[in-house]
């Protein structure tokens, strides 16, 4: 490339009769000016742009730019973190926006006290005690790094001796030293391979400890459900549990290796160089002093120009997680998307998520381009020149004369010193370079530490019932039912009581039904369900039927009133879309028990067959190849079969209460009636959400929601059932008459218009 440019300049200068020196200066000056404009334009733009365009809600952030992902709502003088792009101003105070990397009131990831505290907490998890497997791996790894440093110094001294014997033309000693050098290469290469092996083993051990701890928190107290539905601080918990933990543990293990060995190298190589300089009779102070000055200046320059790699890496990980969640959503809802033909919409979402990630990575690449250029200039060329000066000083200023009587007047010894010192300086410079460049890795580690530490903090908060979500707006707080709730920082406080029932009944006393989005569906609900009291629940969509089940099961908090339920809460919930787990056919029936749990209960496969017979699936075992057959059951079984398998679980577990949420909507009416009768005969109290009148006869009471926050609980006798049937038939008849009535109305309007036109014409005549 330089030759091409030189030829081009020569031809241009000759063609236009311009001195080549002037032309070269012009090209160089133009390049420097363009580079200065590139660096200065963002700064000038930032200084000149004091205000930005308003957002969709007419509110700007502190820099005058539209808000990105995440908000912090200032309510009552405190920051309330949110997880979406909505602006919420409960009390009319200012709103502060944050980027996605600093959501939930956290500062941007950086090497500061918060990072050190989070890292210390995570290290205590990864190394729980002094005597453990991780400590042993760290000790062996440290010993391998220490040994590798000694081998580097020893090999450098051997190479110096080999060069000395070459200068002296001593073939015998040269051959012996060459054989020794080759012999040392075997353990040196083994140590190098061992260092990489131990680094990978250490990362895997750290990951195992951290994953075990994170999983224990994730599956404690239904945290996996509450993080996704009740809390809004973590959008992609699966990404943080997999990729982020892997990246964090690998970064910690790699950083330990890249910090420990350079420190050993700097200390031991410095001592070896000082001894070599003293043997040459030179002063040992000027060389190390010059090195310290150059290294210190390099560090200050790199620190000043270093981008915020922690913030950039955290933002990149966030966009990776979002892209992964979009892919997961497409896989989960593939059938619905295919029926709707919504592939274009989903492709658009995927492309937008991917190009957001591409833009972020390109931004990181651009930041690293200029940083690496400055870093390489300082560490490669400036340090190489400094090393030449350090090697030359003892040779030029040394006072030692040759003492071995060789005819070369000490040339071989000076050559030996030069070769040894040069190799040691190369190793030392490489060590210092790794220490300097490791700052960038430390900043990147801060990003991973922030995400993993935040995840564990959220898991801990959620398991203890502390949730943070989008703050409630003033409009919602003024609506019906909010006067009974207590708010803190714009969020409702769960101050209801959960009390153990002594008579085995379930009761709600003045409990509001509140959704995770703080919508009060029912301001106050009071009911008591005794064993044997079969309750039918009806009402329009969104009136609170399924929400009541979530409160009874403990999935949603009790914001006010009292919830009484038996000890250990012997309730079994069956949704409309049953969950099919991984495993054998036997595992589908006994879920969530394991085979060991089934045997402890004294049950066998014959008992499971009886459960299948009750739901009219006795042929399923032979059809699928036995109890131990493995398959993707959510695809193998039809909708009705999956619902009946879920009901078979009910007969296997035989709880006291069954919460049935349209769980037999895909089952025929005759089979459905047999299932409900068998459940009553088994002593299971039924709480059923259904719209089928055929199931009314299996219940003794009815709870009706009106969709406006009201409800009515009454016995369901034959008279009530008949009244409901008559009302249903009357409403259906009225709905059927609507098209006919509308058609007749159009005809009447047309006749009236014609009549008015005739009257107008006769009046004019």
CATH number, domain of 194, equals 1.20.1560.10
- What is the rounded CA–CA span in Å between residue 448 and residue 240? 9
Task: Output the CA–CA distances (angstroms, integers) from residue 147 to 69, 134, 193, 203, in the order listed.
Answer: 49, 20, 13, 21
Q: How far apart are CA 246 and CA 451, in angstroms?
A: 12
What is the pLDDT, as a whole number, of residue 675? Answer: 92
Closest Cα to residue 590, out of 601, 522, 78, 442? Answer: 601
DSSP letter at 583 equals S
212 domain-assigned: yes
DSSP 746-761: HHHHHHHHHHHHHHHH
**The total number of structural domains that make up the chain:** 4
Closest CA to 305 of 379, 383, 368: 368
Q: Pairing state of beta strands 535-538 and 701-705?
A: parallel
Nearest to 247 by CA among 441, 84, 393, 56: 441
Residues in the chain: 765
Q: Are residues 315 and 431 in the same domain?
A: yes
334, 375: one domain: yes
Is 632 within 8 Å of 597 (Cβ atoms)?
no
Q: Which of 154, 222, 242, 237 is nearest to 592 (CA)?
A: 222
For residue 2, being part of any structural domain is answered with yes
What is the C-alpha separation between 432 and 298, in angstroms, rounded? 11
Does residue 653 share a domain with residue 600? yes
| Beta-ladder partners of 661 | 689
- Tell whether 128 and 150 lie within a shared domain: yes
Same domain, 723 and 711: no
**Helix/strand/coil for 716:** coil
503 domain-assigned? yes
Sign of CA dihedral 534, 538, 541, 544: negative
Q: Based on the domain organization, do 670 and 746 belong to the same domain? A: no
Indicate if 612 and 597 belong to the same structural domain. Answer: yes
Residue 56 lies in a domain: no
| 162 closest CA partner among 438, 388, 423, 378 | 423
Domain check: are 11 and 137 in the same one?
no
| 734 and 669 in a common domain | no
- What is residue 57's three-state secondary structure? coil
Q: Where are the alpha helices (DSSP H) in 280-397?
A: 286-305, 309-332, 334-340, 343-376, 383-397
pTM for the full predicted model: 0.63
CB 290 within 8 A of CB 386: yes
pLDDT at 750: 75
Range of 2's domain?
1-42
Instruction: Name the residue among 716, 674, 671, 669 with its Cα closest to residue 697.
Output: 716
Angle, in degrees to the nearest 10, between helices 411-463 and 383-397: 140
In a domain, 211, yes or no: yes
Averages of pLDDT over runs of 10 residues in the chain (765 residues) are: 57 68 64 60 53 39 37 34 34 36 54 83 88 86 83 75 72 82 82 87 91 90 84 82 89 83 70 62 64 76 77 83 86 79 85 90 86 78 72 60 50 64 68 70 84 89 78 51 70 82 88 85 90 90 88 87 83 87 90 90 91 91 90 88 92 91 88 91 92 86 88 78 59 67 75 70 61
Q: What is the pLDDT of residue 689?
A: 92
Q: In sequence order, what DSSP letters do the residues of 448-492 get, joined into one string?
A: HHHHHHHHHHHHHHHHTT----SPPPHHHHTSTTGGGS-EETTEE
| 764 in a structural domain | no
Do 514 and 593 fall into the same domain? yes
Domain shared by 639 and 737, yes or no: no
Burial of 330 (0-12, 13-18, 19+ CB in 10 A): middle
Q: Looking at residue 611, what is its pLDDT?
A: 92
Query: Could you tell me which residues come within 8 angstroms of residue 368 by beta carbon, excluding any fewer than 6 positions away?
Result: 307
Q: Is residue 188 part of a domain?
A: yes
Identify the three-state secondary structure at position 409.
Answer: coil
> What do you get for the CA distance between the two ends of the chain, in Å?
99
Nearest to 101 by CA among 73, 78, 69, 63: 69
For the purposes of burial, counting CB atoms within 10 Å of the CB of 347, is it exposed (0-12), middle (13-18) or buried (19 or more)?
Answer: exposed
Q: Does residue 588 share a domain with residue 535?
A: yes
Decide: 694 and 536 in contact? Cβ < 8 Å: no
H or E stretch covering 565? strand 562-565
Q: What is the pLDDT of residue 161?
A: 73
Residue 85 lies in a domain: no
C-alpha distances in Å from residue 496, one per residue of 178, 465, 483, 559, 583:
82, 12, 15, 5, 39
User: The domain spanning residue 523 has which CATH number?
Assistant: 3.40.50.300
User: Looking at residue 51, what is its pLDDT?
Assistant: 39
Q: Using the CB atoms, write b or e for 166-184: b if 16+ within 10 Å.
A: bbbeeeeebeebeeebeee
- Is the CB of residue 234 less than 8 Å from the CB of residue 467? no
């Amino acid at each position: 490339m330089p030759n091409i440019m030189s030829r081009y300049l020569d031809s241009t200068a000759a063609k236009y009769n311009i001195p080549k020196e002037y032309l070269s200066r012009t090209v160089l000056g133009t390049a420097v000016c363009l580079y200065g404009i590139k660096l200065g334009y963002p700064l000038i733009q930032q200084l000149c742009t004091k205000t930005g365009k308003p957002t969709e809600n007419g509110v700007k952030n502190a820099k005058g730019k539209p808000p990105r992902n995440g908000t912090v709502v200032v309510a009552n003088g405190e920051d309330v973190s949110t997880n979406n792009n909505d602006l919420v101003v409960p009390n009319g105070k200012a709103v502060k926006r944050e980027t996605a990397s600093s959501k939930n009131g956290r500062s941007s990831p950086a090497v500061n006290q918060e990072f050190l505290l989070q890292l210390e907490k995570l290290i205590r998890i990864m190394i729980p005690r002094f005597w453990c497997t991780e400590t042993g791996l760290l000790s062996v790894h440290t010993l391998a790094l220490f040994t590798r440093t000694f081998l580097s110094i020893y090999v450098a001294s051997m190479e110096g001796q080999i060069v000395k014997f070459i200068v002296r033309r001593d073939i015998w000693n040269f051959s012996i030293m060459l054989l020794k050098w080759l012999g040392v290469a075997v353990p040196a290469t083994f140590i190098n391979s061992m260092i990489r092996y131990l680094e990978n083993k250490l990362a895997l051990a750290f990951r195992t400890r951290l994953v075990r701890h994170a999983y224990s928190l994730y599956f404690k107290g239904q945290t996996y459900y509450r993080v996704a539905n009740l809390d809004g601080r973590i959008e992609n918990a699966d990404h943080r549990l997999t990729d982020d933990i892997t990246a964090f543990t690998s970064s910690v293990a790699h950083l330990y290796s890249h910090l420990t060995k350079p420190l050993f190298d700097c200390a031991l190589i410095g001592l070896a160089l000082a001894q070599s300089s003293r043997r040459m009779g030179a002063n040992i102070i000027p060389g190390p002093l010059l090195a310290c000055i150059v290294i210190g200046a390099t560090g200050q320059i790199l620190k000043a120009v270093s981008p915020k790699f922690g913030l950039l890496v955290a933002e990149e990980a966030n966009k990776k997680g979002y892209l992964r969640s979009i892919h997961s959503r497409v896989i989960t809802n593939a059938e619905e998307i295919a029926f709707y033909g919504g592939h274009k919409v989903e492709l658009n979402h995927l492309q937008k998520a991917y190009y957001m990630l591409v833009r972020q990575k390109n931004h990181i690449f651009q930041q690293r381009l200029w940083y690496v250029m400055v870093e390489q200039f300082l560490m490669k060329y400036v340090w190489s020149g400094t090393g030449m000066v350090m090697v030359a000083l003892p040779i030029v200023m040394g006072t030692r004369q040759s003492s071995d009587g060789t005819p070369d007047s000490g040339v071989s010894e000076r050559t030996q010193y030069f070769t040894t010192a040069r190799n040691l300086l190369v190793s030392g410079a490489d060590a210092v370079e790794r220490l300097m460049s490791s700052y960038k890795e430390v900043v990147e580690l801060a990003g991973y530490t922030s995400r993993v530490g935040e995840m564990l903090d959220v898991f801990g908060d959620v398991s203890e019932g502390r949730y943070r979500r989008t703050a409630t707006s003033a409009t919602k707080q003024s609506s019906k039912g909010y006067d009974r709730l207590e708010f803190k920082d714009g969020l409702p406080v769960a101050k209801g009581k959960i009390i153990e029932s002594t008579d085995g009944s379930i009761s709600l006393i003045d409990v509001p039904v509140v959704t995770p989005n703080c919508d009060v569906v029912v301001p106050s609900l009071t009911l008591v369900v005794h064993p044997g009291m079969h309750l039918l629940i009806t009402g329009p969509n969104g009136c609170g039927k399924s929400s009541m089940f979530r409160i009874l099961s403990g999935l949603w908090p009790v914001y006010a009133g009292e919830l009484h339920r038996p000890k250990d809460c012997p309730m079994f919930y069956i949704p409309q879309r049953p969950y099919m787990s991984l495993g054998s056919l036997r595992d589908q029936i006994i879920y969530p028990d394991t085979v060991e749990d089934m045997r402890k209960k004294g049950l066998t496969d014959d008992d499971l067959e009886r459960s299948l017979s009750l739901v009219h699936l006795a042929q399923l075992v032979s059809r699928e190849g036995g109890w131990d057959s493995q398959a993707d059951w959510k695809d193998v079984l039809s909708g009705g079969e999956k619902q009946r398998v879920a009901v078979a679980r009910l007969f296997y577990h035989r709880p006291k209460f069954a919460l049935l949420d349209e769980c037999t909507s895909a089952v025929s009416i005759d089979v459905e009636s047999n299932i409900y009768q068998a459940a009553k005969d088994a002593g299971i109290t039924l709480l059923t959400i259904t719209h089928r009148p055929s199931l009314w006869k299996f219940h003794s009471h009815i709870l009706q929601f009106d969709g406006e926050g009201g409800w009515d609980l009454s016995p369901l006798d034959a008279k009530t059932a008949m009244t409901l049937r008559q009302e249903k038939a009357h409403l259906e008849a009225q709905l059927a008459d609507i098209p006919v009535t509308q058609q007749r109305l159009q005809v009447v309007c047309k006749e009236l218009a014609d009549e008015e036109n005739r009257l107008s014409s006769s009046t004019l005549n």
